[in-house]
Amino acid sequence: MPVLVVGAGPVGLLTAFVLSQRGMACTVLEQHAVALNRSRASTFQPAVLDRLSGLGLAAPLLAAGLKVDRIRSWDLNTGHQNDLDYAVIAADTAHPFRLHLEQAALRTLLLQRLAAPGGAPVELLEQHRVEALERNEAGEGVRLRIRPAAGGDRLLHRSGRWLVVADGARSGLRSQLGLPFDGVDMPEPVVRLMLPALPEAIARQLAGVTYGRAGVRSFSALRMPEGWRLILRPSAQESQAALTDPTWARGVLVELFASLVDPAWWSTAPLQWDHYGVAQRCVPQRRVGAALVLGDAAHVTNTRGGLNMNFGLLEAMALAEALALGGSAPEMIEPALDAWARLWQSHTIHALLPRTSRLLAGGTPLDGTVAAAGSGQASSAAAPDPQESRLRLIKASLLDLNAPP
Ligand SMILES: Cc1cc2nc3c(=O)[nH]c(=O)nc-3n(C[C@H](O)[C@H](O)[C@H](O)COP(=O)(O)OP(=O)(O)OC[C@H]3O[C@@H](n4cnc5c(N)ncnc54)[C@H](O)[C@@H]3O)c2cc1C
pLDDT in tens, 104-159: 999 999 999 999 999 999 999 999 999 999 976 666 789 999 999 987 889 999 99
Q: If you measure from the C-alpha of residue 14 to the centroid of ligand 1, how many angstroms do you get, rounded to a whole number?
A: 12
Q: Which atom of ligand 1 is nearest to the CA of 307?
A: 11
Residues 6 or more apart whose Cβ sits within 8 Å of residue 14: 106, 110, 313, 316, 317, 320
Ligand 1 atom 12 nearest Cα? 309
| Domains with residue ranges and CATH for the chain | 3-65+102-184+279-362 (3.50.50.60), 190-276 (no CATH)
Reported as a single tens digit per residue, the pLDDT across 200-238 is 999 999 999 999 999 889 999 999 999 999 999 998 889
**Residue pair 359/318 in contact by the 8 Å Cβ criterion:** no
**In angstroms, rounded to a whole number, what is the distance separating the alpha carbons of residues 217 and 207?**
19
Could you tell me the distance, in angstroms and rounded to a whole number, from the CA of residue 256 to the centre of ligand 1?
Answer: 32
Q: Report residues of the chain scoring pLDDT below 70.
A: 38-39, 136-139, 358-384, 403-405
State if residue 102 touches ligand 1 by the CB under 6 angstroms criterion: no
Would you state the pLDDT for residue 137? 67
**Pocket-testing residue among 175, 281, 309, 315, ligand 1, by greatest number of atoms within 8 A of Cβ:** 309
* Three-point CA angle 96, 99, 103, nearest 5°: 145
Angle between helices 308-328 and 46-54 (to 10 degrees): 30
207 C-beta closer than 6 A to ligand 1: no
The secondary structure of residue 351, as a DSSP letter, is I
Mutate which of 13, 27, 39, 171 for ligand 1? The one with the most ligand atoms within 8 Å of its CB, which is 39
Let me know: does 337 contact 322? Beta carbons within 8 Å.
yes
Q: Nearest Cα to 133, choosing from 169, 161, 170, 172?
A: 172
Task: Give the distance (Å) from ligand 1 centre to CA of residue 318.
Answer: 18
| Per-residue pLDDT at 404 | 56
Query: 212 CB under 6 A from ligand 1?
Result: no
For ligand 1, atom 9, the nearest C-alpha belongs to 306
Whether 369 is in the pocket of ligand 1, judged by its Cβ within 6 Å, is no
Report the residue among 38, 68, 145, 167 best suited for mutation to probe ligand 1: largest number of ligand atoms under 8 A from its CB.
Answer: 167
From CA 228, how far away is CA 226, in angstroms rounded?
Answer: 7
Predicted pLDDT at 126: 97
**Burial of residue 244 (number of CB atoms within 10 Å: 0-12, 13-18, 19+):** exposed
Q: What is the pLDDT of residue 197?
A: 96
The amino acid at residue 194 is M
Ligand 1 pocket test target in 32, 48, 103, 276 with most atoms within 8 Å of CB: 103
